[in-house]
Structure 1
Amino acid sequence: MTSTAAPERRSTTVPLDWKEVWFTNCPMVSANNIDQELGWCREEFKKIGVEYAYFRHAPENNWYPHYIHNLDNLIRFGGLYPPIHVNADIRRTVLLGATWVSEGGCMAVRARDPFFRMEDLKGKKIGISKSLNTVKNDWWRIQEHMGIETMLRLHDLTMDDIELVEFPYPDDWYDKPEMLVPPMNNPSELWMRRDHKHDLAFRPLETALLNGTVDAIYTQSKVFQHLQEATGRIKMIEDLSRYPDWTIQVANTPAVITCTEVMADEHPELVVAYMKAMVKVGRWANDNKRAAAYILNHQTFYRDAEDTYQGIKDVDMVPSLSAQNLECIKIGKDFMVSHGYIHNDFDVDEWARPEFLEKAAEEVLAEEWERRSWSKLPAGGGLDVEGTRLG
């Protein structure tokens, strides 16, 4: 009998050096995924004499710091569930900002099956994945679980009305030698090595759906959805992103920015430098959505650049800690607590530290005023925003 036990895994990192800052991101909508091509964040760190690089640029760093944040000098911009897990159960981190994308989730079925409503799935089999990798957070499963439960509830159904079929999988690509060498200068290099828009490792339940093992699976709205529909073999019978209720749109989103508490408390200038770049890049992206979409298409799972544009055209690319973003984060965290995906609860409002974003915004505004004032004042003019009311 073949064992399903996960192999022994461990995370490795470079020695700590506060003259270095590492970044990592997920292949989703964020200012960081745009900046990795623009290089504005690297410029901000050069101003203060600090090297800024993708964390996999150093061969000593394997993939796991992206999930367990065991590099003190790492800043992460990515999916919601792993950083919630880290702050709850692994180490204290700081929430710096968030980008909200309404992606909700869809219920996917085979195109020619006679399923047209969620009610048609009563008594049917719905798949759910289970990572055997115990080092990292099982974020795939969490969003599947949350999406399935929500869609059933919207149609007066419960988990008892369907047969949930679990699919354990190794989730071990992080340890494959070809994914560890050579070092990468940019996250886009990862996707150059994998045809990520058609790699079923990113859609582990699709094969089970197409071969008839299950009758339906969860998939993300817009991202993944359009790639799957384009095959002509899959259709969607429910889509949470079409509902006016924004509280059911949490699907490993919002994308959030986190750093370690030690970085925030002992080296706040590093955090501010990063957030300044995110504000600048976010503003640029808001003004140049099609250009931003072209860049994001290299890393995300939208069908193509036009599909990416349609997905981001209404997204505010400047990260924020708005009340709505924080409430969405709380919804995701509360689901993880109530369903046993994290052991410890925490206060999201205390996790959030808005002072870094506020300081970054002040510095961006001051720099912009100084740059513009040179054409209007004899010797230019700085802007003292502290204690000053503008307007």
Structure 2
Amino acid sequence: MTENVSSTVPLDWSEVYYTNCPLVSASNVDQELGWTREEFKKIGVQYAFLRSRRENNWYPHYIHNLDNLIRFGGLFPPVHVHADLRRTVLLGATHAPHEGGCMLVRARDDIYRMTDLRGKKIGLTKSLNTIKNDWWRIQEEQGIELMLRMNGMTRDDVEIVEFPYPDDWYDKPEMLDPMDNPSELWLKRDHKHDLAFRPLETSLENGTVDAIYTQSKPFQHLQEETGKFKAIEDLSRYPDWTLQVANIPAVITCTTEMAEQHPELVVAFMKGMIKVGRWANDNKRAAAVILNRQTFYADVDDTYEGIKHIDMVPNFSPKNMASVEIGKDFMLSHGYIKNDFDVSEWAAPEFLEQAAKQLLEEEWARLTLEKVGTAETLGIEHVRVG
């Protein structure tokens, strides 16, 4: 696998590539609307999905080894990149504040509370892919520890069983065929029922372990609908918002090279995210139809219920930034990153501010021309003021 790490197109600043995770974000809505691509067209830049070129493999999504790439996705990989691999810039965040994580057990087992798990086995995955960040394990470990703590327990009260797995779907030939849109990936995979995304589910079903971590709402509902599993704990049900950091908030990052050398590219992307985010906020059911194609909610209605209270416009709210820091601190304390950093210094709100300012100015100019008119539209050869 290591041979393919640097598989990227040659750097060309007239091109910008995007990549996103299958979660709630304006980018996952925009990949169907194409509004961000329009912003780049205005400045003569080609905007395309990372995997639309065969030369780009999947790894830039995880290690950001492509200077002209903008990523919108789960929190843990970009924290790892910024801490240990290369400096990036944090451009905004979108939080799903009620998806902290669940503890799943077999539906017919005589287990109804976390305390019933004393002395029993809880699974914990371990990716054997050493190139990328083990983001799924991080949220499992974080969620398991939090659920134990909320019930007066520690890891010493249960048996944590590790499950190494290849985590190598990125390198399969069929996954390396070019695709113009991230949605095309799911045409190749039934992602809502693909157990590659839920590697411990089989071990729970066959009794190798007694419980596993799963994401609140998205994966949880799919798994419960099988009739085989039930959740006995759910961090999303607690009023404590600091429990809701399971690879979220979703964050936008770009390289420092892009931010410093070509800020106009960053602003163009953020303009698209603001426009799409506003549209999604105003049209949540339509946005749910789009997001259902890529996320792990059970269906369109379930997706709508999951996103209806989420602000789809990326922001730097104090709670979002505190949530980013909670995730980063957990990774540092458990050895998932080697180096610490200041989240406030990582954040660069000036790009979001500039994008919002440009959109306001453009909207004002459009409304002024429509309502007031110009000498040309009014058929007046010369207008004298004063």
TM-score, normalised with respect to structure 1: 0.94
* Corresponding position of 1:254: 249
Look up the match of 1:156.
152
- The 1-side partners of 2:356 and 2:27 are apart by 16
Q: Helix, strand or coil: the match of 1:375? A: helix
* 2:308 is the alignment partner of 1:313: yes
Which residue number corresponds to residue 368 of structure 1? 363
Residue of 36, 42, 53 corresponding to 1:47:
42
Task: Give 1:299 shift.
Answer: 0.3
- 1:27 corresponds to: 22
* Residues 153-209 of structure 1 deviation map (CA, whole Å, 9 limit, x = unaligned): 00110011100000000000011111101x110000001100000000000000000
1:166 aligns with 2:172: no
2:73 to 54, 66, 78: 78
Which runs of 5 or more structure 1 residues have no equivalent in the other structure?
1-5, 381-391
C-alpha deviation, 1:9, in angstroms: 5.3
1:202 corresponds to which residue?
197
- Within 1, Cα distance between the matches of 2:243 and 2:284? 26
Structure 1 pair 19/319, CA: closer, same or farther in 2 (3 Å)? same
Whole-angstrom distance in 1 between the partners of 2:141 and 2:229: 20
Asked whether 1:281 is paired with 2:265, we answer no
What CA distance in whole angstroms lies between the structure 2 residues aligned with 1:28 and 1:142?
17
Deviation at 1:217, TM superposition (A): 0.2
Offset at residue 292 of structure 1 (A): 0.2
- Map Cα deviations across residues 212-269 of structure 1 (whole Å, 9 max, x no partner): 0000000000010000000000000001011111100000000000000000000000
Query: Retained in 2: the 8 A contact 1:11–1:63?
Result: no
1:311-347 CA deviation, whole Å, 9 max, x = no partner?
Answer: 0000000000111110000000000000000000000
Task: For residue 48 of structure 2, give the secondary structure of its aligned residue in structure 1.
Answer: strand
- Choose the corresponding residue for 1:57, options 39, 52, 60: 52
**Distance in 2 separating the partners of 1:54 and 1:199:** 23
Query: Could you say which residue in structure 2 is the equivalent of 1:144?
Result: 140
What is the DSSP-based 3-state SS (H/G/I as helix, E as strand, rest coil) of the residue aligned with 2:295?
A: coil
- What is the distance in 2 between the residues matched to 1:7 and 1:110? 38
2:240 pairs with one of 239, 245, 249: 245
Distance in 1, Cα, partners of 2:31 & 2:290: 9
Distance 2:30 2:214 in 1: 27
- 1:280 and 1:178 map into 2 onto residues whose CA distance is 34
Aligned partner of 1:320: which letter? Answer: N
**CA deviation after TM superposition for structure 1 residue 371, in Å:** 1.7
Aligned to 2:181: 186
Is the CA contact 2:121–2:158 (under 8 Å) kept in the aligned structure 1? yes
2:127 equivalent to 1:123: no
- 1:330 equivalenced with 2:320 (yes/no): no
Is the contact between residue 95 and residue 249 of structure 2 (CA under 8 Å) also seen in structure 1? Answer: yes
**Within the alignment, does 1:112 sit opposite 2:116 as a pair?**
no
The answer on whether the counterparts of 1:40 and 1:281 sit within 8 Å (CA) in structure 2 is yes
CA apart distance, 1:282: 0.1
**8 Å contact 2:192–2:222 — kept in the other structure?**
yes
Distance 1:215 1:36 in 2: 39
Which residues in structure 2 correspond to 1:345-384 (within 5 Å)?
Answer: 345-379=340-374
Regions of 4+ moved over 4 Å? 6-9
Write the distance in 2 (CA, Å) between the matches of 1:293 and 1:121: 36
Number of aligned pairs?
374
For 1:146 and 1:8, locate their aligned partners in 2 and report how far apart those are by CA, in whole Å. 32
Q: 8 Å contact 2:26–2:313 — kept in the other structure?
A: yes
Q: In structure 2, what is the Cα distance between the partners aligned to 1:361 and 1:9?
A: 38
Q: 1:366 & 1:208 partners in 2: Cα distance?
A: 56
Letter in 2 for 1:135: I
Stretch of structure 1 that moved more, 202-211 or 369-378:
369-378
Take 1:158 and 1:203, find their aligned partners in 2: how far apart are those partners? 24
Deviation string for 1:262-300 (max 9, x for gaps)? 000000000000000000000000000000000000000
Instruction: Please give the secondary structure, in 1, of the residue aligned with 2:232.
Output: strand
Q: Distance in 2 between matches of 1:281 and 1:30?
A: 9
Residues 2, 131 of structure 2: 8 Å contact kept:
no
CA RMSD, Structure 1 to Structure 2 (Å): 1.1
Determine if contact 1:9/1:135 at 8 Å carries over to the other structure: no
For 1:376 and 1:229, how far apart are their aligned partners in 2? 55
**Residue 155 of structure 1 aligns to a residue in which SS?**
coil
Residues 263, 270 of structure 1: 8 Å contact kept: yes
Report deviation, 1:10.
Answer: 2.8
| Corresponding position of 1:3 | none
Q: C-alpha separation between the residues in 2 aligned to 1:347 and 1:60? A: 34
* 2:147/2:235 contact within 8 Å kept: yes
SS in 1 for 2:218: coil
1:99-126 CA distance string (max 9 Å, x none) = 0002100000000001111111011100
Shift of 1:8: 6.2
